[in-house]
Structure 1
Amino acid sequence: MISTLAKGVVFSVATLHVYILALEMFMWDQPRAMKAFGVRKTPENIEFQRKTYTMAKNQGLYNGFLAAGLYRGLYLGDTDTGTDYKFFFLSCVAVAGVYGAATVFPKILMVQTVPALTGIALLYFSL
């Protein structure tokens, strides 16, 4: 039971990072991404979004790496290697969430860190 919940949380965290990748790499200066990242639609902010698009694409790529690692862990299943992948990449997500919350937007803690730590706890108790 806990193993199934853990897999569901890992899948959800991975899928969230695919969504973040899409927002940052392909929709950074569009209303959907601006709303997701709490940016008000003003002429100044729209211009800032356009100027920082390359940086956002880079961030999006890193979110894709996190998702790929988590999906790889799911693919490898309950093997030692699969579990190691899941623990490692969930830990990366949690650390990135703490840093993002401290430096950018506090909401990131709830969106990234809490689900990642939930996944880590569920994985641990499923061993």
Structure 2
Amino acid sequence: MQLLAQIVTGLVALIHVYIVLLETVLFESRGRRVFGLSKEKADIVQPAMSNQGCYNGFLVAALVVGFVHPNPAIASAFTVFGLACVAVAGVWGGVTVKRSILLIQTLPAVIALALHFA
């Protein structure tokens, strides 16, 4: 079960690496299309999206520390913290931005958390 938890956690981390890229370096091209924004609206929200991408990068960092830290208790704490943050951010995004965020972000994090504690 632990291996499955690590696989799903890895997928959550990869999803967030992609989100970081969409919200930062790829925002003007692919990011704008993925988020369904016109050029005019994208120009207005670009600074906020870049900031949001930075925060998503911190979520990735917490999950990566969970994979590489040599102390299992500390690694587990980082993993749980990272996954819990992803789940909460996903719920907030699902409520305030777009319902599909619940499936893309929250559901995988909750599954990984459940597997982590199974």
Q: Give the TM-score category using the shorter length.
A: over 0.9
Please state how far the C-alpha of 1:13 moved relative to its aligned partner.
0.6
Equivalent position of 2:102 in the other structure: 109
Question: What are the within-5 Å matches in structure 2 for residues 11-22 of structure 1?
Answer: 11-22=10-21
Please state how far the C-alpha of 1:110 moved relative to its aligned partner.
0.2
Tell me the percent identity.
Answer: 38
Residues 1:34 and 2:32 aligned together: yes
Based on CA coordinates, which of the two structures has the bigger radius of gyration? 1
Runs of 4 or more consecutive aligned structure 1 residues displaced over 2 Å after TM superposition: 34-37
Paired residues of 1:70 and 1:85 also in contact (CA < 8 A): yes
> Which string of whole-angstrom CA distances, capped at 9 and with x for unpartnered residues, describes residues 16-73 of structure 1?
111100000112222x223322x16xxxx21110121111110000000000100110
* Unaligned stretches of 5+ residues in structure 2: none
Equivalent position of 2:59 in the other structure: 66
Aligned length: 118
Q: TM-score, normalised by structure 1?
A: 0.87
Please state how far the C-alpha of 1:101 moved relative to its aligned partner.
0.3
Question: What are the within-5 Å matches in structure 2 for residues 72-91 of structure 1?
Answer: 72-76=65-69, 79-91=72-84
RMSD (CA atoms): 1.3
Q: TM-score, normalised by structure 2?
A: 0.94
Paired residues of 1:76 and 1:82 also in contact (CA < 8 A): yes
SS in 1 for 2:28: coil
